[in-house]
């Protein structure tokens, strides 16, 4: 049984029950973790609460050094972390290795940003006064992340949270917590209690989010769960940062270079076997190029290698669970009933005899806008292609969604690109380079895709609140103090 990290020490959980973690490709056991209960949650939150005032007072230059050191420790463990993450997520090893680099870069970025960001000076309203703001931490942050990017999404919360002076209790995904426990070894240079890691399922996450000493909940996951967290947080007046689901559009305009657009769309949808919040789940293609696009997409996707994610030639690994694969299979079946045409794939299978939760890369064509494939988030390797008459229809349909996490387009025309950008409501808008993130730019959703932002200066501000300081360096009695009769003009009268 794995230990959990509380107050700078690896300790046994009070809760005796355990969760077995299996490789989703081979179904072989990888280890077991505690299913932490209320007592373990309380220990972790108490440690974070006790550590927070001291951590807040650590000078910014020292915080920056410690965050950079975390990044360096993660880089030193890159191979081991990537391999473990591949084993427990099913993510191809090359994707996992890239992910570790992004994780380290996030800690390094916030190590620098936090040093130079504290507040602002504002013009005073009267003589001999100074007005300025400082930005203070909320206190204790609960960081809860999903299975698809367990380390990256945790880094996006932990790095800015501690850079801002908060302390954190991390709850990794119950499907694959082992790599987060391994990454937590990189926190050993921090003061005890600054970062704590507990494990468990949804009940553990609920207990953590509901704990009265948690001041802010940073959550990435489904919109349904995000709504429950928002309602619970509202009852307790907790702050929330929520990065939720989406059904992101991708428009391929008729002037696009298909030598670029075909592999670009395929990658943007099939990365991590389609288990990405920002993957392109609705693909709109202008009719003049739609037929050629579909044929070339079919040829390209059929060539991709599905199999053991530890092998260097593998492009797509398994889905995270049998339940996830069955859900995708059901959604594909319903999409076909809605009138879509199955061009490729469409079912679970076992490549090379592997017993895991694999799903064939799937292409659905003639997908009707408003059908299942455009209204439900399909978390699997399914490309849903909808032909459109022209650019106006493409933009209109792309924007016709209750979600707004990201959107991508391919076009050579700057005017078309700008018109689409201005019309489509999305937290990130990618033009000719889908799904590329930037540590210095904000990431998050509009509409039902979330509240708040991660990354960039905005990601730092998500974990701190401003305090206005008003200073008068001359101590004097103000003319507006009581008694008000002293303010009457000579010869005046009183009314009332």
Catalytic residue annotation: 243, 277
Number of C-beta neighbours around residue 483 at 10 A = 7
Write out the DSSP string of 256-322. S-HHHHHHHHHHHHHGGGG--TTSEEEEEEEHHHHHHHHHHHHHHHHT--BS-TTSTT-SB---S-H
* Neighbour order of strands in the sheet with 167-171: 9-11, 4-6, 195-197, 167-171, 140-144, 216-220, 239-243, 450-451
Cα(454)–Cα(170) distance, rounded to whole angstroms? 16
Please list, in sequence order, all residues whose beta carbon lies within 8 angstroms of the beta carbon of residue 135, skipping any fewer than 6 positions away.
Answer: 117, 118, 119, 164, 461, 464, 465, 466, 467
* First-to-final CA distance of the chain: 77
Which of 432, 463, 455 has its CA nearest to residue 143?
Answer: 463
Helix pair angle (258-270, 287-302), 10° resolution? 60
Six token digits for residue 359: 């799903």
Is the C-alpha dihedral spanning 255, 260, 262, 265 positive or negative? negative
Per DSSP, the chain holds a count of helices (H) and strands (E) of 15, 24
Who contacts 384 (Cβ-Cβ below 8 Å, separation ≥6)? Answer: 281, 282, 283, 335, 340, 364, 367, 373, 374, 378
Instruction: Count other Cβ atoms within 10 Å, centred on residue 120.
Output: 11
Q: Cβ-count burial of 164 within 10 angstroms (0-12 exposed, 13-18 middle, 19+ buried)?
A: buried
CA dihedral 427, 433, 438, 441 (to 10 degrees): -40
């Amino acid at each position: 049984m794995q230990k959990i990290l509380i107050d700078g020490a690896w300790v046994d959980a009070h809760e005796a029950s355990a969760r077995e973690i299996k490789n989703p490709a081979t179904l072989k056991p990888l280890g077991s973790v505690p299913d932490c209960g209320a007592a373990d949650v309380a220990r972790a939150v108490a440690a974070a609460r006790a550590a927070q005032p001291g951590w807040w007072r650590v000078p910014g230059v020292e915080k920056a050094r410690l965050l950079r050191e975390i990044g360096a420790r993660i880089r030193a463990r890159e191979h081991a972390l990537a391999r473990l993450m591949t084993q427990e997520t099913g993510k191809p090893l090359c994707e996992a290795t890239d992910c570790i680099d992004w994780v380290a870069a996030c800690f390094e970025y916030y190590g620098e940003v936090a040093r130079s960001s504290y507040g602002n000076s504002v013009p005073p309203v009267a003589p001999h006064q100074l007005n300025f703001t400082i930005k203070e931490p909320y206190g204790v942050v609960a960081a809860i992340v999903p299975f698809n990017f367990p380390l990256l999404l945790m880094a996006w919360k932990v790095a800015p949270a501690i850079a801002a002076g908060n302390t954190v209790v991390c709850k990794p995904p119950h499907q694959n917590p082992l790599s987060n426990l391994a990454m937590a070894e990189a926190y050993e240079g921090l003061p005890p209690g600054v970062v704590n890691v507990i494990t468990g399922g949804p009940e553990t996450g609920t207990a953590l989010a509901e704990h009265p000493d948690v001041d802010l909940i940073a959550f990435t996951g489904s919109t349904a769960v995000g709504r429950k967290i928002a309602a619970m947080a509202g009852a307790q007046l907790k702050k929330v940062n929520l990065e939720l689901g989406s059904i992101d559009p991708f428009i391929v305009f008729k002037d696009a270079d298909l030598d670029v657009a075909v592999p670009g769309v395929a990658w943007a949808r099939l990365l991590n076997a389609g288990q990405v919040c920002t993957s392109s789940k609705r693909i709109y293609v202008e009719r003049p190029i739609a037929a050629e696009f579909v044929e070339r997409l079919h040829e390209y996707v059929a060539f991709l290698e599905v199999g053991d994610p530890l092998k260097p030639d593998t492009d797509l690994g398994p889905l995270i669970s049998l339940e996830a694969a069955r859900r995708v299979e059901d959604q594909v079946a319903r999409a076909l009933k809605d009138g879509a045409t199955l061009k490729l794939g469409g079912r679970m299978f076992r490549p090379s005899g592997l017993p895991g939760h694999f799903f064939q890369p799937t292409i659905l064509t003639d997908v009707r806008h408003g059908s299942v494939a455009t209204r439900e988030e399909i978390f699997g390797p399914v490309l849903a292609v909808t032909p459109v008459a022209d650019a106006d229809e493409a933009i209109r349909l792309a924007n016709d969604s209750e979600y707004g996490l990201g959107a991508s387009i391919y076009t050579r025309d700057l005017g078309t690109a700008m018109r689409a950008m201005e019309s489509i409501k999305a937290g990130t808008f990618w033009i000719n380079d889908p799904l590329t993130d930037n540590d210095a730019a904000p990431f998050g959703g509009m509409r039902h895709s979330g509240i708040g932002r991660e990354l960039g200066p905005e990601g730092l501000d998500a974990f701190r609140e401003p305090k206005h300081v008003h200073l008068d360096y001359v101590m004097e009695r103000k003319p507006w103090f009581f008694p008000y009769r002293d303010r009457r003009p000579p010869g005046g009268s009183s009314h009332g």
